[in-house]
Amino acid sequence: MSVQPAQKRRFKFDIGKWALLIPLSLLAFSTIYPLIFTLNVALKNNRDYIVSRFALSLQPTLENFPRAWSHANMGTYFWNSFITTVGAVVLLGFVCSLAAYAIGTMRFRFRGLLFLIVLMGMMIPPQVIMVPLFKTVIDLHLLNTHIGLILAYTAFAIPFGTFMLTAYYSNIPKEIIEAAKIDGASTWQIYFRIMIPLGKPALATQAIINTLFAWNELLIPLLIMQKRDLRTVMVGVATLRGEHSADMPLLAAAIIVGVLPVLLVFLLFQSRLTSGMTMGAVKS
């Protein structure tokens, strides 16, 4: 008599699992299919694409990727994205960790108000301040410069980066900092020798998030980098749609080249990314 209820409970659990698995599988397929379709188009020549754009490539070719790298100027765009992304990630790590160190561990007047002002930056849509941003970039003579784009990326990502690192640094035991002060360590020594080593997990997560943001951003580099040779990968891919609209395999190859770095970063550091998003959520 006791076996049947257990079997019923297990059967109900399986039904619930499949009821959840089916829509999630459909959602995953809807996300993966565009990548598979783009890769399939990139492996075709233009004639095969015109004959049947949805059919599988029976004679795949890699000739579109070298053409996208050189003829479509993706090599230059890739280098521009690499410079600005690395520069923004390094600068953001330094600025946000300094702000989080001060807000999360120090006690001073208007500390809460300062943190609230930083958080308010997360509520402002980037599109709202594009005009004043463009005017500021022109006034500072940063238009069409890598440093201008790096500073713009940094300005937009500071609020979330500071919020995430502050939540992490707030959970570091205050006894560690007090012991360092008793031993005669200065504020900068505590920052470099204690806070940075202890904050490596959160800093790594922030670096991954900022890499995905800076590499995939379209609006900000489109506004600041107006010269053709200074375009980033995503701007280059967007402009290729008009320049090579008749050569869809070339455009598909350029899209794969642009997406591949961030796709690899996400796949390699997915566990770090998901765990880092909850850092500091529970106070120890």
Q: pLDDT by residue (tens digit) across 59-100?
A: 888 888 888 888 778 889 999 999 999 999 999 999 999 999
- Cα 47 from Cα 115, distance rounded (Å): 58
Q: Which residue has the higher pLDDT, 226 or 267?
A: 226
Is this model's pTM higher than 0.85 or not?
A: no
- Cα 192 from Cα 44, distance rounded (Å): 53
How far is the CA of 252 from the CAs of 45, 46, 149, 160, 197, in angstroms? 11, 11, 26, 33, 42
* pLDDT for the residue numbered 278: 59
Ramachandran angles phi, psi of 74, nearest 5°: -70, -25
pLDDT-derived band at 4, boundaries 50, 70, 90:
low
How far is the CA of 152 from the CAs of 36, 61, 92, 94, 116, in angstroms? 33, 39, 11, 15, 21
Residues 63-78 as b/e (b if ≥16 CB within 10 A, e otherwise) read ebbebbbeebbbebbb
* The pLDDT of residue 52 is above 60: yes
Q: Mean per-residue pLDDT for 4-12?
A: 51
* pLDDT for the residue numbered 273: 65
Please give the radius of gyration of the chain, using alpha carbons only, rounded to the nearest integer: 24
Handedness of CA 230, 232, 235, 239 (dihedral sign): positive
* The pLDDT of residue 251 is above 80: yes
Q: Mean per-residue pLDDT for 94-114?
A: 89
Query: Cβ–Cβ contacts within 10 Å for residue 27, how many?
Result: 10
| Among 116, 115, 121, 120, residue whose Cα is nearest residue 133 | 121
Q: What angle do CA 215, 92, 111 make, to 5 degrees?
A: 140
Q: Mean per-residue pLDDT for 42-63?
A: 84
Q: What is the residue type of 104?
A: G
The residues spanned by each domain of the chain are 3-42, 64-276
* pLDDT for the residue numbered 284: 46
**Secondary structure element (H or E) that encloses residue 214, with its range:** helix 200-216
Please give the span between the terminal C-alpha atoms of the chain, in angstroms, as a whole number: 46
Task: Specify the CATH number of the domain 64-276.
Answer: 1.10.3720.10
Rounded percentage of the chain residues whose pLDDT exceeds 90: 30
Dihedral, CA of residue 267, residue 269, residue 275 and residue 277, to nearest 10:
-90
Q: What angle do CA 124, 224, 237 make, to 5 degrees?
A: 100
